[in-house]
Structure 1
């Protein structure tokens, strides 16, 4: 028995590292939506807890590869930020019941179109997937920087204390990566977050109030917010959100396939898309939000070098427990924002590196490929830096136009189709 304990402890630590990497991103979506549509504290507590629990369920569904669903890669799912604007709009224009009616239908639609969508794999050659992964990393850097500085809109944004905490966390991670070997090196992010939080406590930046206020047990409830309502426009909107998430997920699948030395085929994509659709549908039943793959966990796998699916199963189990026992989950909210920002800077940077590594196998001596990469990265970064670029266009288009990841990804797909048309219609790629 003693021989297994160290291994179990290590696996637990690696799983916890994944949870901490995605927790803030998963919690922020229900927080923003709940406040924007006027939920009561009790409703908001339910929403956060159920979303965390369903993130775990969705993750396990995706890692569990079977004949029908599951990509079988070490992928972590969380609430998609793409859905925030549309959900708020639907809830305020129609009702919160309409939000969940549209989520349920969109989940079923994703399951139904998975087979067709997976046949589009020829539109995702390395020049596209490498560009998409690079764009994902680049467009997420501002999120890390904002958190490192204290959070967008914070009164102490960019204060010396925040900058010290953020960069101290980053430096600790870099020191561990440079000098630590084996297991300690693989949990560099977790160690950096722990040390950063301890340092933050000395500066009064750690608040355990959420832990004291959280309940011990929180069970899921079917249709907590009422019987779902079904309206055409909300359903169309949430289906578009789901399709956009599939495009993002495709880039992550290929990045993970590259990291784990597994060739991703159309059948793999089909199972991955189905798992995502099932997760969206199940989430809708208990009034959670749509899910997508989380890029920060890809960066974490790249940094740690640990690619085992077992670690992701452990992380998924932890998320389910955190959702059922909010008091434990609330403890992660005590981690100062700048500390998470410093850790995310390292992880998102590694996502960029993964994209560049994929592009290194592309023939960039061909001007067509150079143009695809150049314009797609420029578009993704441009929309991220100037988010109001397309604000004069109809509001229903904001699902696509407001996201640098989506605009960069779609630009890469379309431009590759235009500049490399012959390779797309080549029967060998179909």
Structure 2
């Protein structure tokens, strides 16, 4: 009898719960940041922002369960995937809100979701054009890009704030990182796999005497509360807004495809075209649900991809439990507020390990590509460089049209698009043969091929 793949193994319930909680703690801050930023930009009051957060968690939980367990043959990659609100949609949502109002934001999101579902299978057909050369490049850019996010959680987001870059916050993050490292590297069995969760708990305990754990919002939050259907009124469908949100879905698809291929690489699960298509349909479903519940388009959270690699717990039933917990948090705002009380420097400390792990996986994946071939090496170099431009040079594309900013401000999307197109041009056309014929191999390169 054939043993089940590690992705399909059901762990004991207590391990499912512990690992599920670990995933939620890792992704929670990134997930709720999107409604917080959008609410502030749209001029919404605190009560309305609270509703957005609840809706955000509810939809993220539903889609996480769909991606982990599957929805028949229709949707879900059946992989250990955590989904949450993506920043890719942030700029267009703000622009649409200011130009047409909030009903147009969620109307265009509904149509964008339908467009995404329709394009899922055609998009999945190009998976053969995502070899190790492309996926390794994208993963490297993802990991390096997210390190800046972890740093922002540690030092703060406002340089004018008196606590910005506080040495105590940096020291706290360093201690959390060391604890995670000790348990992950020196621990055995479940202690190694729970290293991130142990570090988070230790970080919270250390934060209490520092005054960083704020529980005022917990007591003020409602115990129960369900998101409202079409909270901002009947949806509207301006053509410009619909086109912008459809572009968003294409960018989200590029990111999700790379993330699913990464999960397949990490877990050793070979992905078929149908698996990718069902995963992309999950993204489309997130936009549909977001349009109904006034939430946000979801994508795969790469920090949790890093957690899967770091803990080596590949069971999709773990992330299904995480999805159920997110639904619970969405329906019980007080519990959500409790999770939100985890100080950002603590999350940033473990984030440094998890995000860097993704970059290392990317480098390891690139080892499977022939980088002694100068054409391949150039593809990687150009793609990494272009992908990191918007990350390292803030505001570079601010003067471009808003529709173009959707693509250009996403380093992950830029890296994926560049690597995909260059690989297509130089490895699947005669131009690649011409380029290689014009290059005389160096003695070193010739020796490396023997």
Q: TM-score, normalised by structure 1?
A: 0.95
CA separation in 2, counterparts of 1:22 and 1:307?
17
- 2:437 equivalent in structure 1: none
Name the residue aligned to 2:97: 91
Q: 1:318 aligns with which of 300, 316, 325?
A: 325
Q: Does 1:249 align with 2:241?
A: no
Among candidates 166, 183, 187, match of residue 190 of structure 2: 183
Deviation at 1:204, TM superposition (A): 0.9
Alignment of 1:28-427 (within 5 A): 28-65=33-70, 66-153=72-159, 154-422=161-429
CA–CA distance in 1 between the matches of 2:49 and 2:156? 23
Cα deviation, residue 210, structure 1: 1.3
**Per-residue Cα deviation, 1:384-414 (whole angstroms, up to 9, x for no partner):** 0002222232222110111211112211112
2:286 touches 2:296 (CA, 8 Å); kept in 1? no
Partners of 2:402 and 2:296 in 1: CA distance = 21
Whether the 8 Å contact between 1:206 and 1:334 is mirrored in structure 2 is yes
TM-score (norm 2): 0.91
| 2:32 paired residue among 27, 31, 36 | 27
Structure 2 CA distance for aligned equivalents of residues 9 and 137 of structure 1: 30
Equivalent residue number for residue 428 of structure 1? none
Helix, strand or coil: the match of 2:139? helix
Counterpart CA distance in 1 for 2:266 and 2:260 is 10
User: Hey, which bits of structure 1, 4+ residues long, moved more than 4 A?
Assistant: none
Question: What secondary structure is seen at the aligned counterpart in 2 of 1:292?
Answer: strand
- Partner of 2:43: helix, strand, or coil? coil
* In structure 2, distance between residues paired with 1:407 and 1:382: 9
Q: How far is the alpha carbon of 1:424 from its aligned partner? A: 12
Q: How many residues align?
A: 421
Deviation at 1:211, TM superposition (A): 0.4
**Cα deviations across residues 312-356 of structure 1 (Å, max 9, x unaligned)?**
110000000000001011011111111111111111011111211
Give SS of 1:44's match: helix
Question: Post-superposition shift, 1:274?
Answer: 1.1
- The answer to whether the 8 A contact 2:68-2:317 is kept is no
Determine helix, strand or coil for the equivalent of 1:51: helix
Tell me by how many angstroms 1:152 deviates. Answer: 4.2
Give the Cα separation in 1 of the matches to 2:204 and 2:325: 20
SS, match of residue 225 in structure 1? coil
Q: Which has the larger radius of gyration?
A: 2
Extract unaligned runs of 5+ from structure 1.
1-5, 426-430
Q: Deviations over 1:153-175 (max 9, x none)?
A: 44311111111111111111011
Q: In 1, are the aligned partners of 2:22 and 2:197 still within 8 Å (CA)? A: yes
Q: Please give the root-mean-square deviation of Cα atoms over the aligned residues, in Å.
A: 1.7
Matches of 2:399 and 2:227, distance apart in 1:
40
5+ residue gaps, structure 2: 1-10, 433-450
Residue 298 of structure 1 contacts residue 351 of structure 1 at CA under 8 Å; is this kept in 2? Answer: yes
How far does the alpha carbon of each residue in 1:119-167 deviate from its partner, in whole angstroms, 9 at most, with x for none?
Answer: 1112211100111111111111111111111334443111111111111
Kept in 2, the 8 Å contact 1:147–1:337? The answer is yes
Residues 60 and 316, structure 1, Cα contact 8 Å, conserved in 2:
yes
Separation (CA, whole Å) in 2 of partners of 1:98 and 1:73? 33
Residue 29 of structure 1: how far off its partner (Å): 0.1
What SS is found at the alignment partner of 1:202? Answer: coil
Structure 2 distance, partners of 1:215, 1:169, is 31
1:9 aligns with 2:44: no
Question: Deviation of residue 228 (structure 1)?
Answer: 0.3
In the TM superposition, residue 423 of structure 1 has moved relative to its aligned partner by 9.3
DSSP-derived class of the 2:378 partner: helix
